[in-house]
Chain A
Amino acid sequence: MLEKKIEDIEIQLLLEGLYQRYHYDFRHYAWASVKRRLKQAREQMGFRSFSALQESLLHDPGMLGRLLGYLTIQVSEMFRDPSYFRAIREKVVPHLRTYPSLKVWIAGCSSGEELYSFVILFREEGLEQRTLFYATDINQDALGKAEAGIYDLDRIQMFTENHRKSGGKSSLSDYYSAAYGKASFDKSLRRQVVFSDHSLVTDAVFAEMHLVSCRNVLIYFDRDLQDRALGLFKDSLTRKGFLGLGSKESMRFSNHADSFADCVREEKIYQKRTE
């Protein structure tokens, strides 16, 4: 029991060191998963203790990228949860059509699968030209992959199936070219996109949005941090703007619950109240 406690102290010190040295703040991420992932990092990188890992991290900047790879989870799919994108298409797009110009923020965009899903959907609905998309993440590798838009060909079948289930009006194959086991998405899909390094933990609001989609990011945060991020979304959304969360994320346990109304309840799509 005593040994366990020491390990927890070491992990807290490691996270504190990571923050003070590199300004990446994982101190309020959901503890149980952070601990699991740091254990994996420690074992796979061959450190005897978290203190040893911390020492190396503080003195060798090259360790930062490796550790971030463990601490941020890069699991994504195009049109992940097709029913979510169907609801965006059927319930949110009709409202968005009434605006002459639009801003959409994909927060925690990972390697870009969610972003491309939105751009394709907006192109199909004739809204792409009037929309500016912001795609943000804290993981540089992931942002690089998002900008490249190249995915393994063996994932395309699932993406295609998801796209079809989401009510897709075109064929996904219209948007990529395949070569050498990779599918490379067309650069025209990036014309309206700004990629940027932005943390929901330490950075501020940067533009007024009509739609924010932040999926499967908040589950990694503790409740205080979820509140901070939801506050950020609230402040950046325009009057009656829309917020979409992941299928297992909800506003239920948050202080901001009163600022949002359900738009499509089952899909975790909310609309900002007018006050």
Chain B
Amino acid sequence: MGTSAEAIVIGASAGAVEALSVILPSLPADYEVPMLIVVHVPPDNKGILAQLFQAKCNIEVREAEDKEPISDGTAYFAPPDYHLLVEPDKSLSLSSDAPVLFSRPSVDVLFESAADAYGADLIAIVLTGANEDGAEGLRAVADAGGTIIVQSPEGAYASAMPAAAIAACPNARVMSLEEIAAYLQDVEKT
């Protein structure tokens, strides 16, 4: 019996493209669980991440639009310079509120709103990065009963972000990128 979840949220910073390239292309075309992803990118970076991964992946990959209902089997990237949030009716919303921990989009903002919307039916993953974004959000997911995973800092391109996440959430499962990819492949949609 595999795990099930209503959605997966992922946060990554420095080294994100390489890390996500291990995870996202490994998912099959009929993968159902929607994924919401925040990567720290410069504000003028015109949404190339979604394009890049759409070309590499079997699942649908898009840049999130405001008030868009979340579709199964789709990975959504936060647009550069906007926060991405989940509404209680499971639609997406964007905001240009001030950066949080110098980041917009912010991993914490996504994770906290997703924890609110999905409660225990959520998997949250913090990957490589050189700052502390994601730690608070991961704790909110854990408090709501969700599953929390952190890339092992030793194997990460930048260890600060996963290390901060583990410090905030000592119970998080710590895995390599390959283990995370294998784990996600077995997750079914709730």
Interface residues, chain A, with chain B CB atoms under 8 Å away: 1, 4, 30-33, 35-37, 73, 75, 216, 218-220, 222-223, 226, 248-250, 252-253
Inter-chain contact A219/B87, CB cutoff 8 Å: no
Inter-chain contact B67/A73, CB cutoff 8 Å: no
Inter-chain contact A37/B116, CB cutoff 8 Å: no
Inter-chain contact A36/B94, CB cutoff 8 Å: no
CB-CB under 8 A from A250, the residues of chain B are: 65-66
A-B contact pairs, 17 of them (CB 8 A): A4-B144, A30-B95, A31-B87, A32-B86, A33-B85, A35-B116, A73-B97, A75-B96, A218-B66, A219-B93, A219-B96, A222-B87, A223-B91, A226-B67, A248-B65, A248-B79, A248-B82
Inter-chain contact A36/B113, CB cutoff 8 Å: yes
Distance between Cα atoms of A30 and B68 in the complex (Å): 12
Interface footprint category on B: 20 to 34
CB-CB under 8 A from A1, the residues of chain B are: 119, 144-145
Inter-chain contact A33/B93, CB cutoff 8 Å: yes
Inter-chain contact B116/A73, CB cutoff 8 Å: no
CB-CB under 8 A from B98, the residues of chain A are: 73, 75
Instruction: Name the distance in Å between B119's Cβ and chain A's nearest Cβ.
Output: 6
Distance between Cα atoms of A107 and B31 in the complex (Å): 43
Segment 84-111 of B: residues with Cβ below 8 Å from A:
85-88, 91, 93-98, 109
Distance between Cα atoms of A110 and B183 in the complex (Å): 47
State whether the Cβ of B32 lies closer than 8 Å to any Cβ in chain A.
no
**The residue from A4, A30, A32, A216 contacting B96, defined by CB atoms under 8 A apart:** A216
**The residue from B68, B82, B113, B145 contacting A32, defined by CB atoms under 8 A apart:** B113
Given A33-B83, A249-B66, 19 more A-B residue pairs with CB atoms under 8 Å apart are: A1-B145, A4-B116, A30-B95, A31-B87, A32-B85, A32-B113, A32-B117, A35-B113, A35-B116, A36-B85, A73-B95, A73-B97, A219-B94, A222-B87, A223-B91, A226-B67, A248-B65, A248-B79, A248-B82
Instruction: Name the distance in Å between A9's Cβ and chain B's nearest Cβ.
Output: 13
Distance between Cα atoms of A226 and B112 in the complex (Å): 24
CB-CB under 8 A from B68, the residues of chain A are: 253
**The residue from A4, A31, A73, A219 contacting B66, defined by CB atoms under 8 A apart:** A219
**The residue from A31, A37, A222, A252 contacting B97, defined by CB atoms under 8 A apart:** A37
CB-CB under 8 A from B112, the residues of chain A are: 36
Distance between Cα atoms of A216 and B93 in the complex (Å): 12
CB-CB under 8 A from A253, the residues of chain B are: 67-68
Distance between Cα atoms of A37 and B116 in the complex (Å): 14
CB-CB under 8 A from A252, the residues of chain B are: 65
Segment 108-160 of B: residues with Cβ below 8 Å from A:
109, 112-113, 116-117, 119, 144-145
Instruction: Name the distance in Å between A193's Cβ and chain B's nearest Cβ.
Output: 24
Inter-chain contact B88/A31, CB cutoff 8 Å: yes
Distance between Cα atoms of A212 and B116 in the complex (Å): 36
Closest to A1 in B: B119
Closest to A254 in B: B67
Segment 31-85 of B: residues with Cβ below 8 Å from A:
65-68, 79, 82-83, 85
Closest to A29 in B: B93
Inter-chain contact A248/B67, CB cutoff 8 Å: no
Inter-chain contact A30/B85, CB cutoff 8 Å: yes
Distance between Cα atoms of A1 and B115 in the complex (Å): 11
Distance between Cα atoms of A35 and B97 in the complex (Å): 13
Distance between Cα atoms of A28 and B160 in the complex (Å): 39
Distance between Cα atoms of A216 and B104 in the complex (Å): 15
> Which of A1, A36, A253: most chain B Cβ within 10 A?
A36
> Which of A33, A37, A249, A253: most chain B Cβ within 10 A?
A33
Instruction: Name the distance in Å between B167's Cβ and chain A's nearest Cβ.
Output: 22
Inter-chain contact A30/B119, CB cutoff 8 Å: no
Distance between Cα atoms of A184 and B172 in the complex (Å): 52
Q: If A31-B88, A32-B87 touch, does A248 touch B97 (CB 8 Å cutoff)?
A: no
Distance between Cα atoms of A189 and B82 in the complex (Å): 31
Inter-chain contact A248/B94, CB cutoff 8 Å: yes
**The residue from B87, B109, B145 contacting A30, defined by CB atoms under 8 A apart:** B87
CB-CB under 8 A from A226, the residues of chain B are: 67
The 5 closest A-B pairs by CB, nearest first: A32-B85, A32-B113, A30-B93, A33-B95, A219-B66
Distance between Cα atoms of A213 and B182 in the complex (Å): 48
Instruction: Name the distance in Å between A161's Cβ and chain B's nearest Cβ.
Output: 11
CB-CB under 8 A from A37, the residues of chain B are: 97
